[in-house]
């Protein structure tokens, strides 16, 4: 009887641990995310200095930010666009249930907003496929049309949200580089 209780307790603990290890829908993480965790990348896919960031509020609420500082010599104004998303945390895939866009004021900002949507979906999908079972980094060669074809994605369980540490071109040039 004692061993049955231990077995039931162990199964209950394991299932609760797994449910707590899910932040992005459908993605099981080795180190679970906590409310307020974020990750920022320098995004070298743009011709100007740009950063993209992701913030985890809770299992159903996220924020994505695109930031590019002003460049007076090139007459480029500062861009600061934030997307707030609500998602269905019960879904096995990313399913948006609501969205609010702040800071997109020009028609040209539409491309950036679409890019941010694409990143959220792509990072979720690729993070789900790279199931990290321990504290080891994994380098995965993948086709990523958003970044021009074949890339190497470096997954690291210590990086919040999608566990993506870097995305590099096939030649090794940093496309997305972890900043925080």
- Per-residue pLDDT 10s for the chain (180 aa) are 555 444 333 333 333 333 334 456 555 666 777 788 999 999 999 999 999 999 999 989 999 999 999 999 999 999 999 999 999 988 888 888 999 999 988 988 999 999 999 999 998 888 777 666 777 888 999 999 989 999 999 999 889 888 999 999 999 999 999 998
pLDDT given at position 132:
64
Q: Provide the domain limits for residue 9.
A: 2-178
pLDDT given at position 23:
54
pLDDT given at position 96:
87
User: Is residue 93 a contact partner of residue 25, using CB atoms and an 8 Å limit?
Assistant: yes
pLDDT given at position 105:
87
Nearest in space to 85 (alpha carbons), one of 103, 72, 104, 99: 99
pLDDT given at position 175:
97
pLDDT given at position 20:
38
Buried/exposed 48-84: b ≥16 CB within 10 Å, e otherwise: eebbbbbbbeebebbbbbbbbeeeeeeeeeebebbbb
pLDDT given at position 114:
95
pLDDT given at position 91:
85
pLDDT given at position 92:
82
- Where does residue 43 fall: left (phi above 0), alpha (psi -120 to 50 degrees), or beta otherwise? beta
How many domains does one find in the chain? Answer: 1
Rounded Cα gap, residues 77 and 112, in angstroms: 14
pLDDT given at position 104:
84
pLDDT given at position 25:
59
């Amino acid at each position: 009887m004692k061993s049955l209780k231990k077995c039931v307790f162990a199964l209950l603990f394991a299932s609760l641990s797994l449910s707590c290890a899910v932040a992005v829908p459908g993605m099981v993480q080795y180190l679970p995310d906590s409310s307020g965790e974020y990750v920022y990348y320098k995004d070298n896919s743009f011709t100007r200095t740009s950063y993209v960031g992701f913030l985890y509020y809770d299992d159903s609420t996220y924020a994505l930010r695109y930031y590019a500082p002003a460049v007076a010599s090139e007459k480029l104004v500062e861009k600061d666009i934030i997307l707030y998303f609500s998602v269905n945390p019960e879904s096995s895939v990313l399913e948006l249930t609501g969205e609010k866009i702040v800071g997109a004021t020009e028609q040209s900002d539409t491309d950036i907003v679409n890019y941010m949507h694409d990143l959220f979906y792509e990072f979720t999908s690729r993070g789900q496929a790279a199931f990290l079972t321990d504290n080891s980094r994994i380098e995965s060669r993948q086709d990523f049309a958003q970044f021009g074809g074949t890339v190497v994605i470096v997954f690291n369980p210590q990086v919040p949200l999608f566990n993506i540490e870097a995305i590099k071109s096939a030649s090794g040039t940093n496309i997305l580089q972890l900043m925080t």
